[in-house]
Amino acid sequence: MYGLYNFLLLSLSILLSPYILFKLATVPKYRGGLTQKFGRVRKGVLRRVQGTRPIWVHAVSVGEVMAAHPLVRELRKKYPGKKIILSTVTITGNFTAKQRVPEADAVFYFPFDYPWVVRRVIRKINPAAVLIAETELWPNFFRELKRQGIPSALINGRISPRSHGNYLRFRSFFSQVFENVTLFCMQSDADAERIKSIGADPGRVMVTGNLKFDQKILPVQAPPVTIAPGRRVITAGSTHRGEEAILLEIFVRLRKKYPDLVLIIAPRHPERFEEVGGLITSSGFECQRRTRLKGTVKDVLLLDTIGELRAFYAVCDIAFVGGSLVKVGGHNLLEPAAMRKPVVFSKYMFNFKEISEAIANAGGGVMVRDKEDLYVQFDALLADRARSAEMGERAYQVIAANSGATARTIEAVQGLIGGL
């Protein structure tokens, strides 16, 4: 099966090479860390790990990096003599790791899953153990780790109901992949059952909880922009194509009832800033951009920066979390919850099922069915400030009630690290 996997991997790489080259030439984010992804380990990383066997933590992008941060922080306390390195896949994840995870001794890009590439990188780094966040299941990488006698763990593991069926179709292959993984630390009982049904050894599967609940999301000390006193704000975070147009349509309707209302839109992907700016303008509003803002926010603000979303959740009255009106799977609801804001999201939250259900069940947020329902819920929260404030407090309490995953994960993986 590995032979077939590598044949398909190489064939697709060759077949898609014209498209890939076009993307590399035209989209800067595709060029981020490219040589590292092909197996070059930066000299700075090698200097930091020279003569040691570091703990290697992998987190693909921003959400996973922030979820892994509490674990990296506690690993630093428990193993002060060991180096801890952190890899990512995306540019935004890499940037976030460098800015927000000072406990990591080095941050670098994760290699492509070609056999010769992962073999070279693993030999160069020679980690004591590798901890992979969520469901980054790279077959050649895990097999090479086992060949070199390096233990590995899937941490904060999750298998969404949507992806479960796809994994089951290739159960015979993933059963082989899972033989090379030492430990599976899953977010919930449902995740544990799903990964066992795909082929993971039940004796190596445990439930440790969701690391995202252990993020130390600090309060914001000062408003990031000037908003006139008394104006109410909706912050729509991590939005995707199709959502901004809906939000702007609803905003136009709401402004007729609430003329003091302000909308802040934070697209998930930086390459869409220009596109979203055009949508704002075509809706009849001046597009004020965060990077060019002078004076107070008037109507609609485009957050065209990275790493500031938490601050803009802090200044809002209602938070909408994107990737949920369209079939993306949602994004992290805990940042607005930590800012004590009522959290509104839609039905496509399969990547954050546990968190969204916990917040909704606690009365800290509301799931909307569609565009009209989103308008109704925004309207209701804007009309009832007391209810809105109470919902925000309930959202905040969910975080404290579900903490502890970091300690359980550390306890689970210390057998992989402690004796090395």
- What ranges do the domains of the chain cover? 13-209+404-417, 233-401
Q: Please list, in sequence order, all residues whose beta carbon lies within 8 angstroms of the beta carbon of residue 204, skipping any fewer than 6 positions away.
A: 181, 182, 183, 184
Question: What three-state secondary structure class fits 349?
Answer: coil
Q: Which of 247, 226, 246, 218 is nearest to 235 (CA)?
A: 247
What is the share, in percent, of the chain residues with pLDDT greater than 90?
Answer: 79
Helix 405-417 and helix 62-78, axial crossing angle in degrees, nearest 10: 60
The CATH architecture of the domain made up of 13-209+404-417 is 3-Layer(aba) Sandwich (3.40)
Kindly report, residue by residue over 259-318, the tens digit of the pLDDT: 999 999 999 999 999 999 999 999 999 999 999 998 999 999 999 998 899 999 999 999
> Which residue is it, tokens 């200044």?
315
What does the pLDDT read at residue 418? Answer: 67
pLDDT, position 215: 83
**CA torsion angle 169 172 174 177 (round to 10):** -170
What are the backbone angles phi and psi of residue 11, rounded to the nearest 5°?
-60, -45
Q: What is the pLDDT of residues 47-74, one digit of tens each?
A: 999 889 999 999 998 889 988 999 999 9
How is residue 312 written in tokens?
């803009």
Residues annotated as catalytic (active site), given as ranges: 64
Note the residue count of the chain.
Answer: 420
CA distance 360 to 295: 37
Do the domains 13-209+404-417 and 233-401 sit in the same CATH topology, yes or no? yes
Non-local CB neighbours of 51 within 8 Å, separated by 6+ positions: none
Tokens of 21: 């080259």
Token couple for 119: 């073999």
Question: Per residue in 185-203, pLDDT tens?
Answer: 999 999 999 999 999 999 9
What is the rounded distance in angstroms from the CA atom of residue 172 to the CA atom of residue 97? 35
Please name the fold of domain 233-401: Rossmann fold (3.40.50)
Residue 419 predicted with pLDDT over 60: no
How would you class 179 by CB atoms within 10 Å of its CB: exposed for 0-12, middle for 13-18, buried for 19 or more? middle
Torsion of CA 61, 181, 33, 289, to 10 degrees: 0
Per-residue pLDDT at 284: 94
Quick: pLDDT tens for 379-417.
Answer: 999 999 999 999 999 999 999 888 899 999 999 999 999
Half-sphere CA count of 279, side-chain side, radius 13 A: 22
Q: What is the pLDDT of residues 341-383, one digit of tens each?
A: 999 999 999 888 889 999 999 999 999 999 999 999 999 999 9
| Average pLDDT in the chain | 93
β-strand partners of 242: none
Looking up tokens 């992949």 gives 177
Mean pLDDT of the 197-222 span: 91
Q: Which pTM does this prediction carry? A: 0.79
**Mean pLDDT to the nearest integer, 247-252:** 98
Per-residue pLDDT band at 420 (split at 50, 70, 90): very low
* C-alpha angle 137-349-225 in degrees, rounded to nearest 5: 105
